[in-house]
Structure 1
Amino acid sequence: MSKRIETKDLNIYYGKFHAVQNVNMTIEPRSVTAFIGSSGCGKSTVLRCLNRMHEVIPGAHVEGEVLLDGTNLYDKRIDPVRVRRQVGMVFQKPNPFPTMSIRENVLAGIRLNNARISKSEADETVERALRGANLWNEVKDRLDRPGSGLSGGQQQRLCIARATAVRPDVLLMDEPCSALDPISTLAIEDLIKELRDEYTIVIVTHNMQQAARVSDVTAFFNLEAQGKPGRLVEMGPTDKIFSNPDEKATEDYITGRFG
């Protein structure tokens, strides 16, 4: 199920503004890759390009390739909706659908794809996804209550369950803990470590300690100057990036000299 992602000469634009230039990277299956770097350097922009969410913004476009197991996701014949089913996204703020029950939130992606499933299949999917998100025992007796009634940390795990219910190959997470308290953050970090056995996971985080705790590989992005495109400075095993990076800019960021 889990798949490899590659980007080749990926250049990202908002209208005429060149936001990120020449990103070449390989993200291995069944691993957690963290994107770190100062604000505005293009981390989240690159993340959104991995499932074609970037092009939802008017005037936004990309040049280059994003390959999922060798298939270019930006090929004209590829349906972006299918891409977003294969490459799921969990956003910064938990966003369960407020009018839906916990159960219907989990099934939302399947229903959106017009997939018809029997009640028994739906029950099985809900339990599998909520167990996978370490939420089942907390909510199994109130599946018909609104998802918006859960705590922030539970809501984020519900959103992870919703993303995994459609069985994607890749899970993207854009600062999934930034709106959460420390205990909820720990729960999500533990969950990320468990999910790596089944998914290719890419996480954007401002929290370097979090990157060090949860990721196998870290990619450091930086801006040469304000108004210039962001770029990938260095990517490698997390322990090496944090202890012995190749680039001075990476070391300066890790040690807090800037950023």
Structure 2
Amino acid sequence: MAQSIEAHDLNIYYGKFLAVSEVNLTIAPRSVTAFIGPSGCGKSTVLRTLNRMHEVIAGARVEGTVLLDGEDIYDNRVDPVDVRRTVGMVFQRPNPFPTMSIYDNVVAGLKLQNGRTKKADLDTVVERSLRGANLWEEVKDRLAKPGSGLSGGQQQRLCIARAIAVEPAVLLMDEPCSALDPISTLAIEDLIQQLKTKYTIVIVTHNMQQAARVSERTAFFNLAGIGRPGQLVEMDDTQTIFSNPSDRRTEDYISGRFG
């Protein structure tokens, strides 16, 4: 199920402004890769190019190549909706559909994708997805209740359940713990470790301790200067990035000299 990602000579624009330049990276399947760096350096922008979410912004465009298991997702023959189904996304703040029940939140994407589906099949997907998000035991007796009635950490796990219900190959997570308390953050981090056995996971985080805890590889992004594009400074095994980075800028950021 999990798939590899490669980006080659990736340039990302907002209108005429070059936001991120010359990104080259490889992400292995069934692994966790963390994107770190100061605010405004392009981490989330790069993340959104990996499932073609960037282009929903008016005037935004991408140059270069993004390969998902060898297939260019920006090829004119590729449907971006299919890409976003294969590469799911979990956002910074939990965003369950407020008028929907827990049950309907989980199957919302599946219904959109498949139309009419047997109730028994939906029941199976709901239980499998909620178990996959470590939420089943907490909500199995109140599936008809609104998803918005859950705690923040539970809502985020509900959003993860919704994302995995359509059986993606990749999960992108844009600061998924930034709005959560420490206990909920730990629950999400534990869940990430379990999910990586099935999915390729890329997480943007400002929490360097979190990056060190959950990821096998880390990519450090930085700004070339005020008004200049963001850039990928280096990418390596997480242990190497945090103990012996090859670029002084990475060391300065890790040690807290800036950012």
TM value normalised by structure 1: 0.99
TM alignment of 1:66-215, pairs within 5 A: 66-215=66-215
**Aligned-partner residue type, residue 255 of structure 1:** S
Q: Paired residue for 2:43?
A: 43
Correspondence for 1:236? 236
- Amino acid of the residue matched to residue 244 of structure 1? N
* AA partner of residue 199 (structure 2): Y
How much does 1:116 deviate? 3.1
Between 86-95 and 118-127, report the one with greater CA deviation: 118-127
The percentage of counterpart residues that share the same residue type is 75
Count of matched residue pairs: 259
How far does residue 114 in structure 1 lie from its aligned partner after superposition? 3.4
> SS of 1:93's equivalent?
coil
- Write out the 4+ residue segments of structure 1 that deviate beyond 3 Å after TM superposition: none
User: Alignment partner of 1:113: what SS?
Assistant: helix
Match of residue 29 from structure 1: 29
Aligned to 1:62: 62
Distance in structure 2 (CA, Å) of the matches to 1:45 and 1:107 = 28
- Counterpart amino acid of residue 126 in structure 2: V
1:113 deviates by: 1.4
How far apart are 1:111 and its partner, in Å?
1.1
Q: Which stretch shifts more, 110-119 or 137-146?
A: 110-119
In 2, Cα distance between equivalents of 1:215 and 1:115 = 36
Q: Tell me how far 1:91 sits from its aligned partner.
A: 0.1
Q: SS of the residue aligned with 1:210?
A: helix
Q: Structure 2, unaligned stretches of length 5 or more?
A: none
Q: Distance in 1 between matches of 2:33 and 2:24?
A: 14
Tell me, which stretches of 5 or more residues in structure 1 are unaligned? Answer: none
Let me know the Cα RMSD of the aligned residues.
Answer: 0.5
Q: CA deviation at 1:250?
A: 0.4
- Give, in whole Å, the separation in 1 of the partners of 2:9 and 2:97: 37
Where 1:21 maps in the other structure, the secondary structure is strand
